[in-house]
Chain A
Amino acid sequence: MKKISTRMVVAAMLLFAMILPRSLSAQTDIDALMMAKNAFCIGPMYSYSSWKNYWEGTLKRDNENLGTVSTKMVAIMGNYGISKKLNALFSVPYVKTKASAGTLQGMDGIQDLSLFLKWRPLQKEMGKGKLSVFGIAGVSIPLSDYTPDYLPLSIGLHSKTALGRLMVDYKLDMGLFATASATYLLRDNIDIDRESYYTTEMHNTHEVKMPDAANYNFRAGFRNRRWIAEAVVNIWNTLGGFDITRNNMPFPSNNMDATMVGANFKYVIPPLPQLQLVAGGNTTVAGRNVGQARTVYGSIFYILDFSRKSKSTNPNPNAE
Chain B
Amino acid sequence: MLSDMKKIVFYSVIVLVTAVIVIIACNKDIEGRTDNIPALAPSNLDLNAGAWKPVLLTSPSEFAVAAPGATASPDYIAQINEIKAWQADMTKEEERIVKYWSAGGVLRWNEIMRELVAKHNLPPYQNEDGTYPAPSATNPLAYPLFPFANPPYAARAYAYVAAAQYDALIAAWYYKKLYNRAAPYKVDSSLKVLIPQSDLPSYPSEDAVLAGAAAEMMKLLFPGDQDFIQQKAEEQKRARIIAGANVRSDIEAGEALGKAVAQKFAARARGDRAGVAGGNPALWKQLEDDCIARGETPWVSLETPKRPPMLPLFGKVKPFLFDSLTVIALRPGPPPSTSSKEMKEECDEVYHQTSRATRENIRIIHFWSDGANTYTPTGHWMSIAAEDFIRKNFSEVRWARNIALLAMAEMDAAIVCWDTKFYYFNPRPSQMDPNIKSLTGVPNFPSYISGHSTFSGAASQILGHIIPERAAAYDAMAEEAAKSRFVGGLHYNKSDCGVGLVVGRNVGNYAVQRAKTDGAE
Which residues of A pack against B, CB within 8 Å?
A: 38, 64-65, 80, 82, 86, 88, 101-106, 115, 117, 137-139, 141, 145-147, 149-150, 160-162, 186-189, 192-198, 201-205, 207-209, 245-249, 306-308
Which residues of B pack against A, CB within 8 Å?
A: 2, 5-6, 9-10, 13-14, 16-17, 20-21, 23-25, 27-35, 111, 114-115, 118-119, 122-125, 143-144, 302-305, 354, 357, 359, 362-363, 366-367, 369, 372-375, 380, 383, 430, 436-442, 489
Cβ of A88 and Cβ of B366 under 8 Å apart? no
Cβ of A247 and Cβ of B125 under 8 Å apart? yes
Identify 20 new A-B residue pairs, CB closer than 8 A, beyond the known A198-B118, A249-B373.
A86-B10, A88-B13, A103-B302, A103-B438, A115-B17, A141-B16, A147-B366, A160-B20, A161-B20, A162-B20, A186-B21, A188-B20, A196-B114, A198-B115, A198-B375, A202-B118, A204-B33, A205-B32, A245-B122, A248-B122
B225 → chain A closest CB, angstroms: 12
Contact of A188 among B24, B29, B118, B440 (CB under 8 A): B24
Chain A residues lying within 8 Å of B439, measured Cβ to Cβ, are 104-105, 150
A-B contact pairs, 8 of them (CB 8 A): A104-B437, A106-B437, A117-B13, A160-B20, A196-B375, A205-B33, A209-B28, A249-B372
Chain B residues lying within 8 Å of A307, measured Cβ to Cβ, are 2
> Which of B2, B373, B380, B440: most chain A CB closer than 10 A?
B373
Q: Complex Cα distance A101/B304, Å? A: 9
Cβ of B23 and Cβ of A204 under 8 Å apart? no
Would A246 and B143 be within 8 Å (CB), given that A138-B17, A139-B17 are in contact? yes
Chain B residues lying within 8 Å of A106, measured Cβ to Cβ, are 437
Cβ of B32 and Cβ of A203 under 8 Å apart? yes
Contact of B374 among A80, A82, A150, A197 (CB under 8 A): A197
- How many A-B contacts are there with CB distance less than 8 Å? 151
Cβ of B10 and Cβ of A82 under 8 Å apart? yes
Cβ of B20 and Cβ of A105 under 8 Å apart? no
Contact of B383 among A193, A204, A208 (CB under 8 A): A204
Would A38 and B2 be within 8 Å (CB), given that A147-B362, A204-B33 are in contact? yes
Cβ of B143 and Cβ of A80 under 8 Å apart? no
A152 → chain B closest CB, angstroms: 13
Contact of B441 among A104, A141, A160 (CB under 8 A): A104
Question: Nearest 5 A-B pairs (CB), nearest first?
Answer: A105-B437, A202-B115, A193-B366, A64-B304, A198-B118
Cβ of A205 and Cβ of B30 under 8 Å apart? yes
Chain A residues lying within 8 Å of B303, measured Cβ to Cβ, are 65
Cβ of A245 and Cβ of B373 under 8 Å apart? yes
A220 → chain B closest CB, angstroms: 29
Chain A residues lying within 8 Å of B33, measured Cβ to Cβ, are 195, 204-205
Chain A residues lying within 8 Å of B123, measured Cβ to Cβ, are 247
Q: Complex Cα distance A155/B114, Å? A: 30
Chain B residues lying within 8 Å of A82, measured Cβ to Cβ, are 6, 9-10
> Which of B6, B119, B374: most chain A CB closer than 10 A?
B6
Chain B residues lying within 8 Å of A192, measured Cβ to Cβ, are 366
Cβ of A196 and Cβ of B362 under 8 Å apart? no
Chain B residues lying within 8 Å of A207, measured Cβ to Cβ, are 30
B2 → chain A closest CB, angstroms: 6
Q: Complex Cα distance A147/B25, Å? A: 23
Chain A residues lying within 8 Å of B9, measured Cβ to Cβ, are 80, 82, 88
Cβ of B367 and Cβ of A194 under 8 Å apart? yes
Chain A residues lying within 8 Å of B489, measured Cβ to Cβ, are 103, 105
